[in-house]
Amino acid sequence: LHTAYRRQRQMCIRDRSGTVQDIAPLRMVNGAMATAVAIKTDGAQTVDPACVPPVVTDKASLLAAVQACGLVGVGGAGFPTHVKLAANTIDTLLINAAECEPYLTTDCREMLECSDTIISGIAAVMKYCEIPHCIIGIERNKPECIDLLCSLTREMKGVEVKGLPMRYPQGAEKTLVETCTGREVPQFGPSGKPGLPADVGCVIMNVTSVSTLGKFLKTGIPLVTKRVTVELSLIHISEPTRRTPI
């Protein structure tokens, strides 16, 4: 569902199909200037022929696919996923499905509606990054998600689902690492910079991020939408979460 436009060896990904009308500088809300592509949409949402599932055979090709997908931490951090997965000292993949913020239900709906791509994304990361162990951390106020993922991972070697305490900020990376593994992320890493989960052999992916990877490996359609929670007590809505263009 995107139009790809290459210019000066860069790719722009758009969630609407149509015709490029202009390429011009645009001032962003933070005051920075960026190059904007103006597209006249056609309403057809035609999938670009370039959207084909990537060929992944090893870690290098997986990281290339993750980068091509435009995948970043959709839980909010926005850190490039291909950089995170490049570490070579990882023995545990942590899937952050805590969703500890009050009222948010996007990750909950992703687990209930897209469990197949969550599982395929996890399997790909474990296989090609050679990570032997995976823990899916879900707060205990989502029992239907825990039950579903327990049933789907029962036969997956090295994968376990862990119910987490219902408290904020359970989804913070250092809290998640300690709760799931008992390891403590150091204040400072070997380089003298602030400690990271990788310093204790862990890499964290948001549950929707790993699901997005699973979808990209299946369809070739990159990250062009984000699920958001709609919480309006005075307005009747049929869906508690909606996908919105990025």
Work out the average pLDDT over 173-193.
Answer: 91
DSSP string, 50-100: T-------SHHHHHHHHHHHT-B-TTTT--BHHHHTT-S---EEEEEE---
Angle at alpha carbon of residue 97, lines to 207 and 99, rounded to 5°: 120
Which pLDDT score is estimated for 6? Answer: 37
Q: Would you say residue 182 has pLDDT above 90?
A: yes
Which pLDDT score is estimated for 190? Answer: 84
Which pLDDT score is estimated for 10? Answer: 43
* Mean pLDDT over each residue of the chain, to the nearest integer: 85
Work out the average pLDDT over 166-192.
Answer: 90
- Per-residue pLDDT of 8-22, as tens digits, reads 334 455 666 778 888
- Per-residue pLDDT of 78-87, as tens digits, reads 778 888 899 9
Work out the average pLDDT over 167-174.
Answer: 86
Which pLDDT score is estimated for 8? Answer: 30
% of residues, the chain, pLDDT over 90: 49
Which pLDDT score is estimated for 35? Answer: 87
- Per-residue pLDDT of 35-49, as tens digits, reads 888 888 887 777 777
Work out the average pLDDT over 229-243.
Answer: 62
Which is more confident, 26 or 241?
A: 26
Q: How far is CA 98 from CA 146, 200, 225, in A?
A: 11, 20, 21
**Residue 5: band (very low, low, confident or very high) from pLDDT cuts 50, 70, 90:** very low
Structure tokens, 53 = 């599932």
**Residue 243: band (very low, low, confident or very high) from pLDDT cuts 50, 70, 90:** low
% of residues, the chain, pLDDT over 70: 85
Work out the average pLDDT over 80-107.
Answer: 89
